[in-house]
Chains A and B, each alone.
Chain A
């Protein structure tokens, strides 16, 4: 071919010359077999053990909630200055976890990142379950659970309305919308795979159920065309939601006048932190799943390496926010601002602050080394440390600012009670139980999309391979 009069070697390489994303010479049929097999085959023993464990924790979660409703929020460690304790910390933590799914599905889709196909399905599922966990916490925080519906702007005979100017109400809308759109997006992505499972179903009952949810998918050209357009539109709708949800969550803090809460960088800073923790959670789950179900060919080390890079990047964004906050606290010349930040780093909560800094900023720097980026055990450990760090970040923000505010006479130290701890651990139980149920009953990797990134999916695949073998 000639460009500007210069002859250049034909570069019709397309997908062929790129390093394949999926290794092990997979074919369309081997992909279908592999992923459907997990859902259709015998239940893995490890799965039963894990579900037993996580569902007991989930039971503890519900039990603790029951006691909370009976006794009231006094069972928590919240005290007079620290009115927001672990419950809010957990809420922000879980909403944050819920960010990676939609980021991977929507934003990486718009950026045409093909490697997302191996991880997007279960990341989206994880998003949904994390948001479920997240929504529980503000719900139970109202204390009188039977009037939780006050949070919604429902017309009522008392003519009582929530405060529309309150970011807490925006939260209801933002997280609710996010959940609804994420669910829709996840389900839309599932349709072709559900049809695949339907066609493979052995029993009539199974076929019927799957047929209902596959919405009459036949895989025709027209259907694909409409489907892909719908997918693009949903991706475009979800993209601003990834940013808006955590921005609104950040406004819960930043719209207040508490030093350490009120700072203008909060919205982008919270979003970066959310993606950071969400990716770390996806990584933790992916590493376990690929090991247990032998998916190393589909979720390759290459995929994981790309994720480590995003974790490193977002970790540094969070680090940037820490640094700028600290600097501006001094630069502001405001004694309360500078006190708050010095107090965070060297005051009674210094231990939490330094856990946060080490786990979020310092440890991810190890990913500069290729050896560590490709070492699965090390990245597994780091991914867990990141989530520990991100939990502590929310703890530091929520508690340290409240515990030592403007009036020293009202200062107090916050310590959690056993119920705080049981609710946090219990929420992990619920999260993992839902996730385990998901990987048992639905294809955890998108069959249709993974096929789309195989070399065979290139329309010129057979033509080019034939020509090449002839040339050789």
Chain B
């Protein structure tokens, strides 16, 4: 791949684009075999992989909105990568279709007969039923489409001469969009994940899912930026200062995630109400308890200590592995939340966990490259662009 320094566009990226597509199709094909071998396993693996990629795109949406609202300077240089992610977010709705087909395998509340005999679940029928579930998901994606479309288009228009009106317009869109984002993400997490255990509930769950997505997108951004830089793309634009900021954000949101996870755990453990403790009880059965500790150490302690110093945030090789590690932890987090519904006694990794992740990921990256190659890969006409490129992280 090459970078055209006059148009700020990517050229000769077709091979990586094609490779993503091939990997994606192969991954999905192998995963499809899982449907015939072990249908339940197939759907659960698929759901986790799906949540992983959707959460990254949702995290990107948050950052784009945040950047416009706060009038970021440093973030301008990397904004187009995030914008490309949000542009493909609505397309991921297509990948939700298999989940709709697998709704009986995934969601206990979809079994009408079981629900009728369950006094608690029968109260929730008004919310937890298949048509409304599908409508809600369609609604989330529809509204994300509208937001993403507006933000992306306006940003592209700025590439042919930016005016102050566009910057103000982006800010004006972002303010209400942030509110909509908060509510839709929360309810999406309730629908897609929390309702896997229809008896269980936790008011913080939306924030928990959201915080994981933020960590995920930051890991993605660091890794992807370094991937581009290694191939000589945007080396002068995304500098060590930007990685420093991204790593600082990662550090912050690792703590944020830990705070959410701990708040939820502490309060449920303390109050010791059976209908709530079931969630943690399930996750202490058998080998599941290994993942509990893995998350505490891997999703919190290691990145916390590992991103504490200034040097660690400015070392590219180190950051690359840290980003990969954080992405792996983000997947484990989702696995830990979703999978105990299926494997109650202990961890049972399946090949389809991996193939579905790669399959959806391949297609995701293919969509990403396709979109990424269409326009300039950094908003170079943004009035703050040069300031962003020259941005330096102060010592104190």
Residue of B nearest to A231 (CB): B396
Identify A264's interface contact among B175, B186, B263, B387, CB under 8 A. B263
Given contacts A11-B386, A228-B396, A265-B203, contact A257 B273 (CB under 8 A): yes
Q: Does B121 lie within 8 Å of A333, measured CB to CB?
A: yes
User: For residues 1 through 60 of chain B, which have their beta carbon under 8 Å from a beta carbon of chain A?
Assistant: 3, 5-6, 8
Contact A11 B5 (CB under 8 A): no
State whether the Cβ of A6 lies closer than 8 Å to any Cβ in chain B. Answer: yes
Do the beta carbons of B124 and A325 come within 8 Å of each other? no
Whole-angstrom CA separation of A418 from B142 in the bound complex: 56
Q: Check B201–A254 contact: CB distance below 8 A.
A: no
A331 contacts the other chain (CB 8 A): yes
Give Cα distance in the complex from A144 to B389, angstroms: 63
User: B157 CB to closest chain A CB, in angstroms?
Assistant: 20
The reply on B292 being an interface residue by CB < 8 A is no
Given contacts A5-B6, A265-B207, whether A11 and B264 have CB atoms under 8 Å apart is: no
Query: Contact partner of B236 among A3, A11, A323, CB < 8 A?
Result: A3
Q: Which residues of B contact A247 (CB under 8 A)?
A: 259, 263
Q: Are A264 and B267 in contact (CB under 8 A)?
A: yes
Interface bits A190-232 vs B (CB < 8 Å: 1, else 0): 0000000000000000000000000000000000000011011
For the residues of B in contact with A, the DSSP-based class is: helix
Give min CB distance, B136 to chain A, whole Å. 13
Residue in B5, B275, B387 whose CB lies within 8 Å of A6:
B5
Taking residues whose C-beta sits less than 8 angstroms from the other chain, chain A's interface range is 35 or more
A198 to B120, CA, bound (A): 70
A362 on the interface (CB 8 Å rule)? no
In Å, the complex CA distance between A4 and B6 comes to 7
Q: Mark B155-186, 1 if CB is under 8 A from A, else 0.
A: 00000000000000000000100010011001
Given A247-B263, A262-B271, A264-B267: A4 and B5 interface contact (C-beta under 8 Å): yes
Q: Tell whether, in the assembled complex, residue A255 and residue B270 are in contact, meaning their CB atoms are under 8 Å apart.
A: yes
B266 touches A251 (CB 8 A): yes
Set of chain B residues within 8 Å of A264, measured between Cβ atoms? 202-205, 263-264, 267-268
- Whether A257 touches B390, Cβ cut-off 8 Å, given contacts A5-B6, A267-B263, A332-B201, is no
B5 pairs with A324, CB closer than 8 A: no
Complex interface bits, B179-209 against A, C-beta within 8 A gives 1, otherwise 0 = 1001100100010000000010111111100
Expressed in whole angstroms, the minimum distance between the Cβ of A111 and any Cβ of chain B is 9
Q: State whether A11 and B390 are in contact (beta carbons under 8 Å apart), knowing that A3-B236, A256-B271 are contacts in the complex.
A: yes
A331 surroundings in chain B (CB, below 8 A): 124, 127, 190, 201
Query: In the complex, which residues of chain B have a beta carbon less than 8 angstroms from the beta carbon of A328?
Result: 201-203
Known A251-B267, A267-B263, A333-B123; judge A5-B201 contact (CB<8 A): no
Shortest Cβ gap from B387 to chain A (Å): 6
Contacts of A139 in B (CB 8 A): none
A265 contact from B204, B275, B396, Cβ within 8 A:
B204
Whether A5 contacts B5 in the complex (CB less than 8 A), given A232-B396, A325-B203, comes out as yes
- B267→A3 contact, CB < 8 A: no
The answer to whether B255 has its CB under 8 Å from any CB of chain A is yes
Could you mark each residue 1-31 of chain A with 1 if its beta carbon is under 8 Å from any beta carbon of chain B, else 0?
Answer: 1011110110101000000000000000000
Q: Are A333 and B236 in contact (CB under 8 A)?
A: no
Which of the residues B6, B206, B264, B268 comes within 8 Å of A324, measured between beta carbons? Answer: B206
Instruction: Tell whether, in the assembled complex, residue A324 and residue B202 are in contact, meaning their CB atoms are under 8 Å apart.
Output: no
Please judge, given known A-B contacts A254-B267, A255-B267, whether A268 and B390 are in contact too, CB under 8 Å.
Answer: no
Answer whether residue A45 sits at the interface, using C-beta atoms and an 8 A cutoff.
Answer: no
Would A320 and B268 be within 8 Å (CB), given that A229-B396, A267-B259, A331-B127 are in contact? no
B236→A4 contact, CB < 8 A: yes
Cβ-defined partner of B6 (8 Å) among A6, A11, A267: A6
Shortest Cβ distance from residue B145 to the other chain A in the assembled complex, whole angstroms: 23
Complex contact A4–B207 (CB within 8 A):
no
The smallest C-beta distance from A469 to any residue of chain B, in angstroms, reads 23
Question: Within 8 Å of chain A (Cβ to Cβ): is B324?
Answer: no
CA–CA, A276 to B387, complex, Å?
32
Is A359 interfacial (CB 8 A cutoff)? no
Assign chain B's interface to a size class.
35 or more
Residues of A within 8 A of B190 (CB): 331
Chain B minimum-CB-distance residue to A309: B69
Of chain B, the residue at the smallest CB distance from A244 is B259
Q: Write the nearest CB–CB distance from B269 to chain A, whole angstroms.
A: 9
Complex Cα distance, B6 from A262, in Å, reads 59
Specify which chain B residues have a CB less than 8 angstroms from the CB of A6 in the assembled complex. 5-6, 380
- A268, B260: Cα distance in complex, Å: 8
Neighbouring A residues of B131 by C-beta, 8 Å:
none
CA distance A255 to B276 in the complex (A): 13
A153 interface residue, CB < 8 Å from B? Answer: no
Whole-angstrom CA separation of A3 from B201 in the bound complex? 53
Q: Mark B231-244, 1 if CB is under 8 A from A, else 0.
A: 00000110000000
Instruction: Tell me the chain A residues, 255-291 only, with Cβ under 8 Å from chain B.
Output: 255-257, 262-268
Q: Which residue of A lies closest to B269 (CB)?
A: A255
Q: How far is the CA of A333 from the CA of B119 in the complex (A)?
A: 9
B259 touches A324 (CB 8 A): no
CB contact under 8 A between A320 and B267, given known A263-B203, A268-B260: no
Across the interface, name the chain A residue whose C-beta is closest to B74: A112
The verdict on A439 contacting chain B, using a C-beta distance below 8 Å, is no
Complex Cα gap A268–B258 (Å):
12
When distances are taken between beta carbons in the complex, the residues of chain A under 8 Å from B6 are 5-6
Alpha-carbon distance between A255 and B207 when the two chains are bound, in angstroms? 19
Q: A251-B266, A268-B204 are in contact. List 7 more A-B contacts (CB 8 A).
A: A112-B394, A262-B267, A264-B267, A267-B204, A320-B182, A331-B201, A332-B201
B interface residue numbers (CB < 8 A to A): 3, 5-6, 8, 119-121, 123-124, 127, 175, 179, 182-183, 186, 190, 199, 201-207, 236-237, 255, 259-260, 263-264, 266-268, 270-273, 275, 380, 386-387, 389-390, 394, 396
21 A–B contacts, CB within 8 A, in A order: A9-B386, A11-B386, A228-B396, A229-B396, A243-B259, A251-B270, A254-B267, A263-B267, A266-B263, A267-B204, A267-B259, A267-B263, A267-B267, A324-B186, A324-B203, A328-B201, A331-B127, A331-B201, A332-B275, A333-B124, A368-B175
